[in-house]
Structure 1
C-alpha cells in the first residue's frame, strides 16, 4: 500500500516567502512547504523521478532538489525557466555573485548599447533608462551565456547556468519595482502604457544600485542556506516545452506534483511582460505568440475545436451553459477560449498519464471558478478528464480561500459565493 500523503493547505502565504524564497515572488500554484511535506510523505525510492509539467517558478523542482530527489520541470514561459533555474543555484555559488555583478555594472557604464527601435523595454522606460538596463542585460549575456545556451541551432534557455539565471532574476526584480506604476488592480497583470502616458525616467546610478543591492541580498540569503546536514541536491532538469507536445518517455515518471493553469483567464505572459522584455534578445518568439500557445490563452484560437467526449459530462454541461449565457460574447469569444482551454488541458493530461509508470501517483492542485454566475467546477472536470486518460481519483482535499476574481468589479453583477475552492486531487495510475 502506498504511504498516505501529508497534505497541507496549498494556499500561498507571503509570510513564508523569506530568505532565499523571498526573491521568487511569482504567482505559484502552491507554497514550497506544501510541496516539501507532500514529497517527503510520499517516501519515494532512490532514483524515483518527479515531474511537474506546469513547473512555473519551480516550486516542485526546488522542493524535490532540496530533498535530494530527481525531478523534471516543464514550462512554456521562458521567464519562468530562468526563475526556476535560478532557484536551484547551490549555496556554494553565493560567493562570486557580487564580484560578477560589480563587473557587469562597470562594463554597462563604460559602453551603452544602441537600442533597437523595437526594444520591448521602451514600452515602459525612456530611452536613457532602457539603454542602461539593456546594457546590464547585454553584459550578463556576454559574460555568462555561452555556446550551451546559444548555439547555431538556436537559443536553449533551459540550458542556461544557474549563475546567469540568478543575475537575470536580480535584474527582473529591478524592473518589476520600477514599473510598479503600470501594475493593474489584478496583481498578476502588468499593463502596457498608453501612447500618451509618460515612460519611466530613472538614472543609471539608481538602476545600478538596485541591481547590486539585489545581488548582494541574494548572495547573503543563498549563503545562509549552507548547511552540512542538508542532503546533496537531487538532479533536476528544467525544460522549455509545451505540455501538449512535451516529449517524455512512456513509463518514465514515478510521481507528479503540479498545479495546472486555472480556468480564470489569467494571462501568464501578461504577468511576466517585463521579464520577457528583459529577455528579448534571447527569445525566438514574441509575447503575443507565446500567449497564444498558453493553456488559458485570452486569444481566440484560429482553428475550429469540437467538444471531445474525453472532457467528461461535467465539462460538456458547463460549456453548453456558457454558450447559451445571455451576457455579451458568451456564445462566441468566451466559448471558443474555453474550448481551447479544455482541448489543451485534456491533451496535456494525456501526455502526463502516458509518462507515468503503472502504480505511480499524481497530485494536482486545481481551483474552481465562475463564469459570470455559472460555476466552473474545474476540480471535478479535471478528475473526469484524468479518469478518461487512465488515472483513478483516490483522494480529494478541499480548501476554501479568497479568489482574485473577487476584486473584479464586474462580479458584483452576479450572485455567486465569494472566494474559491482549491482542491488537492490525488490520482493513481
Structure 2
C-alpha cells in the first residue's frame, strides 16, 4: 500500500508519482464528489490520479499510450467483483499450480531450460528472467487460464504481471538495468501475497466508491478529442514524460511481453509512436511536430547550446546526434497535447502538469515547466503558475533538479 493508500500498491511503476500530488490538486481547486466536475489524466500511467479520484467519489477519465498501463489501471479501478469468488478461484489456482509443480524435477537444469525456452519470446531471454522463476510463472499462468475466465482471469493475470519484476533480474534506478541473476524466487508466495492484498482493498470500498465513474482508454494524448468530448473536463492532473531520455516501454517491458501486447520490435514501435518523444530511442524520420514550436526562441537557445557542446566534445554517436531533434519533437508533441487539452477543458478549467527539469543532454539545463508555460500561453492559456513541488536528486550526477507543477487555465467565457 503506497503511503497508506489502498489499490496503488497493486502495481508499482518506477517513473510514477505519489498520490499526494493529485490529492493536493483536488484540494487546491476544490473538486469534490457530487459537484458535477470531471477529472482527466491524459498521461494516465497505471492510474494514480484516477485512483485518488475514485476513492473520493469523483468521476474521471484516463488516456495512456501503453497497452499494459491501460490494462493495469483498468484492473486497479474495477471494483465490481465478487471477493468470495476471487478467494475461491485463488485456492483452485494454487492447487492446480502445486499439482503441476510436483511433476517437475526442479534440480534438473537442462529440463528447466527446455521448459523455460518453449515459446519463450526472443525479447525475454534469460538475462531478464532466469529459467526457474520463468517456469514457475508459466505454470502459474497456465493454472489461471485453466481455472478462470473473463474479468476474473484478467485480475489474476494482472497479479502475475505485478510480480514479474520482483522475481526477475531486471532492476530500475530509475533507469532500466539488469542485475545479478536470480536463479530462483518464491513465485507462488509473491502471487498469494498480491492477491490477498487485492482482496483486502476490494473489501474496503463503499458502494459510492464502487459506482464512481473511472474510464481508462488506450490512446494518444495528442488526439484527446477522439476519446473525450470538448468542453467537458474541469481539471486535468497529470505527469507527462519530460526530456530526461527515459524510454517508457523499457520500464514495462516484462509486463508488455507477458500480456502479449508487444513481443517484437514492430509491436514495441507501434506503442512508442503513440507516445510523446521523450527518449532518443523514440525518434522517427517522419516526426514533424517541431513545426509547432520552431519559432520559440527559448527552445532554440537550448538546442543551440546542446549543439555547441556536442561539437566541442566531438560527439559522434547516433544517439547524441538525435539530442536536438528530440528536444524539438518533445516540445512540439507537448504543444499538440496542450492544444487538445485546451479543447476538452471547460471554460475556466485547468490543467496541472508535474514535470522535472533535466540535465540529460550534455548537461544543458532544461527548465521543462517554464518552457511548457511559454508553449501553453501561446496556445491561449492564461494565469500560468509554476509551483515547486520538490527537489529531486539526480541519479547520475551529484546535483538536485526542480520538480514543478505547471498550472494553466483555459479562459472563462
Give the TM-score band, short-chain normalised.
0.7 to 0.9
Secondary structure of the residue that 2:240 maps to in structure 1? coil
Tell me by how many angstroms 1:392 deviates: 1.6
Residue aligning to 1:262: 242
Residue aligning to 1:218: 198
Tell me by how many angstroms 1:324 deviates: 2.4
Distance 2:288 2:308 in 1: 17
Residue aligning to 1:302: 285
Distance 1:19 1:287 in 2: 31
Secondary structure of the residue that 2:286 maps to in structure 1? coil
Q: Determine if the alignment matches structure 1 residue 290 to structure 2 residue 271.
A: yes
Distance 1:165 1:347 in 2: 34
Q: Is the 8 A contact 1:85 1:165 kept in 2?
A: no
Residue aligning to 1:381: 371
Q: Determine if the alignment matches structure 1 residue 241 to structure 2 residue 219.
A: yes
Q: Is the 8 A contact 1:301 1:337 kept in 2?
A: no
Distance 1:236 1:306 in 2: 31
Distance change (3 Å), C-alpha of 1:132 and 1:119: farther
Tell me by how many angstroms 1:55 deviates: 0.6
Residue aligning to 1:157: none
Tell me by how many angstroms 1:238 deviates: 0.2
Q: State how 1:124-135 maps to structure 2 within 5 Å.
A: 124-127=128-131, 129-135=133-139
Residue aligning to 2:19: 32
Distance change (3 Å), C-alpha of 1:389 and 1:108: farther
Secondary structure of the residue that 2:365 maps to in structure 1? strand
Tell me by how many angstroms 1:86 deviates: 2.4
Distance 1:334 1:23 in 2: 36
Q: Determine if the alignment matches structure 1 residue 315 to structure 2 residue 299.
A: yes
Unaligned runs of 5+ residues in structure 2 are 102-114
- Counterpart pick for 1:369 among 346, 358, 376: 358
TM-score (norm 1): 0.77
Relative to structure 2, which stretch is displaced further, 61-70 or 99-108? 99-108
- Counterpart pick for 1:395 among 385, 389, 409: 385
Q: Is the 8 A contact 2:65 2:275 kept in 1?
A: yes
Secondary structure of the residue that 2:63 maps to in structure 1? strand
TM-align CA RMSD:
3.2
Q: Is the 8 A contact 1:252 1:356 kept in 2?
A: yes
Q: Is the 8 A contact 1:104 1:140 kept in 2?
A: yes
Q: Determine if the alignment matches structure 1 residue 84 to structure 2 residue 87.
A: no
How many pairs were matched up?
381
For 1:287-338, what per-residue CA distance to the aligned partner results, in whole angstroms no more than 9, with x for missing partners?
A: 3543354321332322264743536332222122222223425872212222
Residue aligning to 2:232: 252
Distance change (3 Å), C-alpha of 1:133 and 1:41: same
Distance 2:146 2:340 in 1: 37
For 1:79-138, what per-residue CA distance to the aligned partner results, in whole angstroms no more than 9, with x for missing partners?
A: 211221222243864443332223234445667999324364444345564344234335
Residue aligning to 2:107: none
Distance change (3 Å), C-alpha of 1:127 and 1:407: closer
For 1:247-284, what per-residue CA distance to the aligned partner results, in whole angstroms no more than 9, with x for missing partners?
A: 13322222211111121011111111121121126879
Distance 1:84 1:289 in 2: 20
- Counterpart pick for 1:136 among 133, 137, 140: 140
Unaligned runs of 5+ residues in structure 1 are 1-13, 147-160, 413-417
Q: Is the 8 A contact 2:306 2:324 kept in 1?
A: yes
Q: Determine if the alignment matches structure 1 residue 324 to structure 2 residue 308.
A: yes
- Counterpart pick for 1:58 among 24, 33, 47: 47
Q: Determine if the alignment matches structure 1 residue 171 to structure 2 residue 160.
A: yes
Q: Determine if the alignment matches structure 1 residue 183 to structure 2 residue 183.
A: no
Distance change (3 Å), C-alpha of 1:233 and 1:318: farther
Q: State how 1:4-23 maps to structure 2 within 5 Å.
A: 16=3, 19-23=6-10
Tell me by how many angstroms 1:427 deviates: 1.4
Distance 2:176 2:121 in 1: 22
TM-score (norm 2): 0.80
Residue aligning to 2:402: 421
Tell me by how many angstroms 1:60 deviates: 0.9
Q: Is the 8 A contact 1:72 1:236 kept in 2?
A: yes
Q: Is the 8 A contact 1:307 1:316 kept in 2?
A: no
Residue aligning to 1:10: none
Distance 1:397 1:220 in 2: 36
Tell me by how many angstroms 1:209 deviates: 3.0
